[in-house]
Structure 1
């Protein structure tokens, strides 16, 4: 009987597709996407229903399902579009087959419901699983990208690197800062690391504790940490909290911190006059003047 139902559906696919589209259009108000054009909605609906029929005809083909779920994620659509669409297909298909039958009894209806469920349920599972898996993968990649941007270590000169921090520092981010610092110091062969907190809005006891831990960890691998970007209000907060930052150099600006870093690496800035212009040159060692 299942083959008979499939034949009815596939032979009348155009009629069922149109009925499905007419009914799915009534669900626009559920807002599967924040902003979508009529053309995009129509083409996506067509693609969706074609995939449904293709899956019924060619069981076990998951390539189209995966590609379609990726497309929905890229469009920013909700998973409810998948579940609602398949529920509509179930209802439309059952109604159509019942209308085509001359003799309907309880056994016929029961077998029809069972057959359609056997088509639709695997599709729901596969599409939702593909959608969820792709979504989790995208979130994971975005999380990694954000982490890399949240605590970058930038080499600016041989043996000198800078880590500019922007935004709130919580425990998870502090752990990332520590990891990036230690890995970067080794990778770039850094002798001095400048941690710039100009973009950190609040420095409380917890934030200061994390910074101190990071500076001490950098010292254990043979480098010196300079804390720069200490604004007057932050300096006052640190004093009021009784936080001791005397274990490593601190400067009010990145420029002053960089000059300090040059001194720690046996370099300095000198000025030369040429055509009435002042040129700042980096001298590799104090003995090279």
Structure 2
């Protein structure tokens, strides 16, 4: 067990002695000024000491941690290569700005042209980062994704330089597909399937209408909320999801559905107007998208 545990963590965290630090910090503005450095190097007074009842010893290091965090996230190695025209990002349209990289909480996405020049530039930046920080990249967990228009020769050339795995789909991030094509109905159909899977786990025959109302409002309608705030859903997909909600509300037996005594549109009215206050998904989608303006 000890060897298995050590082997697992060794594959997760790879590091070595840092080098080339000065080269990596070229062009990066100083974050700690002379006055800040003087304050940081001063001797702690009794009031600032960590050895006071009710105070953590880590409280004195907050400023240093914040400074290091700021330094880490202002490493403009990729931006510097873009300014030198050694790295070309992608544009969603002609007038849009070029995007070369996106950094998330625990993931990094680098966007570039599929050619030797861009691949060698990225390779150089990654090598410089590894040498300066002492951290090693795990290329087994790194992936390459090419657009359908990229030729086989270009793909092989870039893959040979970066030595990463090639995937046909970039997968998902925060349950959202990294690439959303024109057919959004197919892209987000998994949400409809997820809602219906929830319905199959509930026995509507054993639930009162009040119980069904709570389940629909609290669980089923909340599943696609995050996605509705980012993308404009097709009307057909919204209608299909609402159809599944109505099917659960009125009851179903296998593929046979019950009679719908009231239209779903009227059930979306507020209770003061005689409805049940369900969401109109298309209207809710537009309301969520307005927040982006």
* Shared fold (TM-score, shorter chain, > 0.5): no
Between Structure 1 and Structure 2, the one with more helix by share is 1
Larger CA Rg, structure 1 vs 2: 1
Query: TM-score scaled by structure 2?
Result: 0.27
Between Structure 1 and Structure 2, the one with more strand by share is 1
Query: TM-score scaled by structure 1?
Result: 0.28
